[in-house]
Structure formats: structure tokens, C-alpha cells
Amino acid sequence: MKNAFFYYMRLCVLMLFPFALTAQTESITLEKLWLDRHFTPKTITLGRSMADGIHYTLIKDQTDILKYRYDTGALVDSVFTTRGLLMDDEGDPLRIDAYSFCPDEQMLLIGVKQESIYRRSRRAEYHVWNREAKSLKPLSEGTKQRLPDFSPDGSKVAFVRQNNLYIKELSTGVEYPLTTDGLHNHIINGTTDWVYEEEFYLTKGFEWSPDGRRIAYLRFDESHVREFVMMKYGQLYPEEYRFKYPKAGEENAHVTLHIYDLETDDHLQVDVGDEKDQYIPRLRWTKDPGVLSFQRLNRHQNHLELLLADAATGNIRTLYEERNPWYIRVTFDLTFLDDGRHFIISSEKDGYTQLFLYTMDGEEVRCLTPGNYDMDRFIGADEENGLVYYLARTGSPLTNDLYVVDLDGRNRKRLTAGSGTNSPSFSNGYRYYINRFSTASAPPVYSIHESSGRLLEVLEDNAQLVSRIEEHRFVTPEFFSFSTSEGVLLNARMIRPPDFDPQKEYPVLMYVYGGPGHQAVVDSWNTFNGVWFQMLAQSGYIVVTVDNRGTGGRGEEFRKMTYLQLGKYETLDQIEAAKYLGNLDYVDASRIAIFGWSYGGYLSSLCLAKGADVFAAAIAVAPVTSWRYYDTIYTERYMRTPQENTEGYDDNSPINHVDKIRGNYLLVHGTADDNVHYQNAIEMADALIEAGVDFEMMIYPDHNHGIFTSSARLHLYRLMTDFLDRSIGKQ
């Protein structure tokens, strides 16, 4: 633990002289970045508040769960270790991948040997640790389990295995299935399909009622959804991997909502309406154990209903309803208050994302966060003291701060200090919080605070990384803004070479993501691309990032103005940015390249075609090349279906503009990309060949959307660096 006074003295020095040159400097290399992880910050691993709100737990050395005090940071107890209990074949302790306490905290679920399914889904071997008896037992003797969750009284655990929902009685060891019809690529119970997981951030498809009598769960019938096929290589005969992936305009899974009553052994199907072509992206029990809430969203995603279901009858009534001329973003910003008479929900209905207090009769009481700014994240409500905590971008879309406001909407107070990006995690009871704070030039600092904001202890200041940054002569990124020819003010960030000379002309690499609601120009630490950009700057490049129209932090109108025309305004803004940079005295306008990944790869490809007169080169990693190839929920949210919006889909898909490309083009994709399919690269390559356009292409066998193994990332970043040097590098 670090002394608070020492931390603030060091922070002040860093803010005044963030990257003072030391007597000895070292070179940034890709090997240091990807193999040695020389610039990866230390983090706080799987922190959990305990029920008393006074203590918290962390994982140390990947094998130990330790208990600390919030107020002093002092180590209090060792809760669990895998040493001597969970060992691999070589006799080494297994890594703890997940853990959770039962409500009275006398038992823990310990997950080991975890394996990824898709981006947000995992399966693992789970074990139950009884702290009093010092006993460890497997949760189940079957195959690996998913999403285990203690019942409210801690006597049972519900979990998913092989598309079925199970319950384990801990006292007797009896395990039984709640569903039996689960089947891969056909029926899913208790968890979600690929597209719900990816686009609604939802994997846990079941919830215990507050009294533990019932479990509500989702059931997906995806038997009619078309399959996507990926090849898995590395053996004599490659294997096919098939999964259900509904592409834009195609059929989705049919989703139903059910309630299982443990006392009567009955399954009740909730009345979710006659329309099958809709979404149920959220379910949550109210404070009344007999009333379940769920959200219903139409396929166009512009009509949201918060519905209440009677757990005994399945009948529903509407609690809250919202319509939008563009689309409605589904969030987790929903809390039912303990008084049983109110709930808090977020909405963009006033033009910015804000929090609203409603009664359980559906009447709006007040906006809790009024103003022309976006509420970033709803933290929670401390009802005992009548307080609501949230993150907001009040001063600038580049930064956020933690705020508290009374439930009556008065006495708003900023709790965080400095300018940068905060991510707090509160204790139970809201007495303390652990904050992660960083800036574009300073790596994360983890610190403990009282709920008033007062600093208590610094858990990790990443002082070693700060020293490495100084040794490697990192340059402080500069934030600026400029107006386009249409009078649109855009935010940007620039990294110049350490020995920058305004009398010289430099090549420029523009980095773009640019997708709806996303922000790349923020005052926060970026380890991997950020370090690579610093390396390029040391090699004589200027690196610039611009947030185009459609990105976040600036209200609903700015964010949603790309509706039905993804790519059009984003590309115009990136082209305008390149022209703006090209007019600067120290930029060589003939040597401007653009790089992006995923949505950014889509835009970099489109920019090279539509901006052929300003971009000399482009790198596209895992790009969407036609919106017809992407999934229903994401694509239709912004574009509706291809049947309804043919021109919107085709006018701004790079695959239809390859004949305009004149600059150097590098196309990169992983063959096992379950998100943006390898098909996008194949079809793009075919179109380029047919148009007679030369290009370079690199394929990463059996790598997914992230291409994230150390060896593959090292290879990729060497490839991209070499491509830039050959295309626009120093002359």
C-alpha cells in the first residue's frame, strides 16, 4: 500500500513534468510491447466488496483470495488458496479464473481451467469451498459449467451446462436439470445466443427471485436460424465449426421467458406478446419476489417497454415505455429501490443520456442528472442516505468524473479530482470505493476513497511503468479540435516525434475507430496501440486520432446522425481531417495513411477509396466490408434491414468502391473470427482482384477478432510497421 501524501506529491510532479528526459533513454520495441509486456500496467484482479462494506477481496498471484480493509488497506485474512487443493498435472496450483461468495459469505464458488466460448462467454470447472469446514467439493461431476449462481439463502447453486439449466442442492449433493431440451445450435436455456451475447452484452439468461422460490430464465429456439461455418486448421483434415449467426435481414432466434417454481415444480411461460420478431434483452426481479421485470424491444430497436410479469400467472403490464426516432440503446441502468415504490432508469429522451426517477406506477418523478452532458455510467443508489452515484462527462467529452446527487435531485457534487478517466467500484453500502484513474500520458492508478471522495490509500500507482515511460521518452499526447468545411467541430489527439521540428514535414498515420457511440479521443491510458503510436513517433511519424460524427460523449443528435447511412458522414469527417492535417506546415500531405480495426477497418477501407486524393495508404484489420455480412442486432439498430434500406447498405460498403482505390492497401483478418467473419476479407479481396487493384493481404489462421496471442500480435505489428515504412515512411 502507498501513502496518500506520497501519491499526491508524485502525481503533481508527473502533471508538471510528465515525461522529463532521463540521463539514459531506451528504444521502444515491439518485442518489449508484445512479448515482454514491458508496458502493461499492473491491475487490481477481481476485486469484490464483502457484505459488510468494510472489507474487500482480491486475487493475488493468481492463486490466492485475500481479504483487506477498505479504510486502512490492511490485509486481514486469507480466504482461499488453490495451493495444495487445486493442482495441475505437474503439481502446480491452478489459476483462479472466477470466484463468488454466497450471501452469508461462508461458501465460495471457485472457477478454474476456464475456457472461452465467444467474446463474453466462458465455461470452467467450478468448486464449492466451505470456509468453516475447510472443505472443497466439485460443483458438478459433469462437463464444465457456466454462470453458476448461489440462491439467496445459499443452499443451492443454479448453473448452465450444455444449453440446459441445472440446480445443485449443496446440503445433499443432489443435482437435477430444470430443462432437458437444450441442444447445440437448436435450443438454449438459461444463457443466450451469439448475437445477444455480442450486442446486448448478455450471457446470463436466468435470475433467482429475491426469496429463492423461483428462477426466471430465457429460452432461445434458434433451430431455424441459418448457420455460419468456420474452418479450424492445424490438423490433417480441418474441422468445420458451425454456429447460428443471424445476418442483417435474416431470421433471429425466437426467445421466450419462463419462470420455474421450486416449490410446485412448475414451469410458467410469461406472456411476452404475440410478436416473435422482437428482443428480450434484460430481465430482473423487482423487490417484490412475486413480480419479475423484463424489457421488450422491437426489431427496429426504437420502441422499448419495461414490463412487469406476475410470477404466479405470467400476466404482464407496462411499467415504462419509450419510443425514439432513431434507436434506443439498451443499458444495465435500471435499479428498483428498496422502498418498493420507485425505480431509476437511464434515457436519452432529453437529448443526452440522463438518469430518471420513476414511481412503480410508471410516473416520472424527476430527472436526477439534468444538463447538456452525457451521464457515462449509473453506479448505484445509497437509499439509506438518499444518494445517487454516477459518472458523467460534464466538462468535456474527453474526460469523466464521479458525481453524487440527492434522490431529490439537489446538491450535486463532484467527487473525483484531476482531469482524466475514472472507473470506480463501490463497496456494499456505498461507504468506500476503489477507483481506477488514468490519463493519456499516465498509466492507471488504483486508489481507495471514502464515499465523500477523500483519498485513503493508493493500492497501485504503477510507479515502475511510469519510470519505464520516462526512460523510453514517451511524448505527451496533445488534444485539439478543428472545424470541418461543414462547420462541424471535431475532437482530435496528436502524438508528435520527441524531437519534433516545425520546419520539417512529417508523414502522418491517422488511427480511426469511429463507430456509433464509441470514443477514441479520450484522456485515458491506452497500452497497446498507444505504445505502438509512441514507437512510430520516435521513428518520425505524427500519429493523429479524430472522433468523427456518430461517436459518443456529445449527446444524442451527434451520436445518432449517422442513422441509416453508416460510413457516409464518418468518412467525410476523416477525409476532412486528413485535408486539415495536410495543410499544416509540418505535415507532408502526400504521406498520410489511415489505420483501423473492426469498424475502424471498415472506415479505413472506405476512406482509401472515397478519399483517394488525400490518403496514400490504409491498413484494415478485421474490417466489415459489406454491412450485409454483419449481424442483425448491431446492423439493424443503425441501418434497419437491407430489404428496407438497400441504398444505405450498399452506398457506403467498401466492397462496392474498390475501383476508386489508388493508394497502398493492407487487408488483415483472422480465419476464426466469429464476429466480423473472414468472409468480409475474402469478398473484399475478390472485388479488388476483379477491379485490377493491387493490395497486400495477411491471414492469421485460427485467430479470432482480436488476433490476440503474443506471437500473432508481434507478427501483425511488425507487418503494419513495415507496411507504413514502405508506403509513407521517412524519405
pLDDT tens digit string along 604-632?
999 999 999 999 999 999 999 999 999 99
| Residue 730, pLDDT score | 63
Mean pLDDT of the region 121-137? 97
Residue 113 region by backbone torsions, left for phi larger than 0, else alpha for psi between -120 and 50, else beta = left
Structural element, H or E, at residue 484? none
Give the C-alpha distances (Å, rounded to integers) separating 323 from 10, 305, 329, 361: 50, 9, 11, 19
Per DSSP bridges, beta strands 489-495 and 478-483 are: antiparallel
325 C-beta neighbours (distance < 10 Å), count: 8
Q: Which CATH superfamily is domain 477-727 in?
A: Alpha/Beta hydrolase fold, catalytic domain (3.40.50.1820)
The one catalytic residue in 127, 258, 703, 705 is 705
Q: What is the CATH number of domain 45-177?
A: 2.130.10.10
Q: Please name which of 376, 195, 374 lies closest in space to residue 297, comparing C-alpha atoms.
A: 195
% of the chain beyond a pLDDT of 90:
94
pLDDT tens digit string along 266-312?
999 999 998 989 999 999 999 999 999 999 999 999 999 999 999 99
The CA distance from 680 to 625, in Å, is 5
Confidence of residue 14 (pLDDT cuts 50, 70, 90): very low
Structural element, H or E, at residue 460? strand 455-460
Residue 48: what are its φ and ψ, rounded to 5°? -135, 130
Confidence of residue 25 (pLDDT cuts 50, 70, 90): confident
Q: The pTM is what?
A: 0.94
C-alpha cell at position 655 = 466492397
Q: What is the CATH number of domain 179-330?
A: 2.140.10.30
Residue 293: what are its φ and ψ, rounded to 5°? -105, 150
Active-site residue, 705 included: yes
Q: Hey, where are the domains in the chain?
A: 45-177, 179-330, 370-461, 477-727
Confidence of residue 654 (pLDDT cuts 50, 70, 90): very high
The CA distance from 315 to 215, in Å, is 16
Confidence of residue 731 (pLDDT cuts 50, 70, 90): low
Residue 556: what are its φ and ψ, rounded to 5°? -70, -40
| Residue 46, pLDDT score | 72
Q: Is pLDDT above 80 for 7?
A: no
Confidence of residue 45 (pLDDT cuts 50, 70, 90): confident
The one catalytic residue in 598, 605, 626, 727 is 598
SS3 label, residue 209: coil
**Of 21-30, 189-198, 380-389, 529-538, where does mean pLDDT reach its minimum?**
21-30
The CA distance from 578 to 32, in Å, is 31
Per DSSP bridges, beta strands 354-359 and 214-221 are: unpaired
Q: Is pLDDT above 90 for 15?
A: no
CB 623 within 8 A of CB 602: yes
Average pLDDT over the chain reads 95
Mean pLDDT of the region 415-429? 96
Give the C-alpha distances (Å, rounded to integers) separating 721 from 45, 293, 486, 592: 33, 51, 34, 14
The one catalytic residue in 97, 631, 673, 674 is 673
Mean pLDDT of the region 400-409? 97
The CA distance from 463 to 671, in Å, is 39
Active-site residue, 598 included: yes
Residue 519: what are its φ and ψ, rounded to 5°? -130, 125
Active-site residue, 209 included: no
Residue 204: Cβ-neighbour burial (10 angstroms; 0-12, 13-18, 19+): middle
| Residue 51, pLDDT score | 96
Q: Is pLDDT above 70 for 11?
A: no
Mean pLDDT of the region 159-173? 97
Confidence of residue 725 (pLDDT cuts 50, 70, 90): very high
The CA distance from 536 to 28, in Å, is 9
Residue that is written with C-alpha cell 508523414 in the block:
507
Residue 253: Cβ-neighbour burial (10 angstroms; 0-12, 13-18, 19+): buried
Confidence of residue 20 (pLDDT cuts 50, 70, 90): very low
The CA distance from 326 to 236, in Å, is 50
CB 216 within 8 A of CB 307: no
Mean pLDDT of the region 161-185? 97
- In eight-state DSSP terms, residue 331 is -
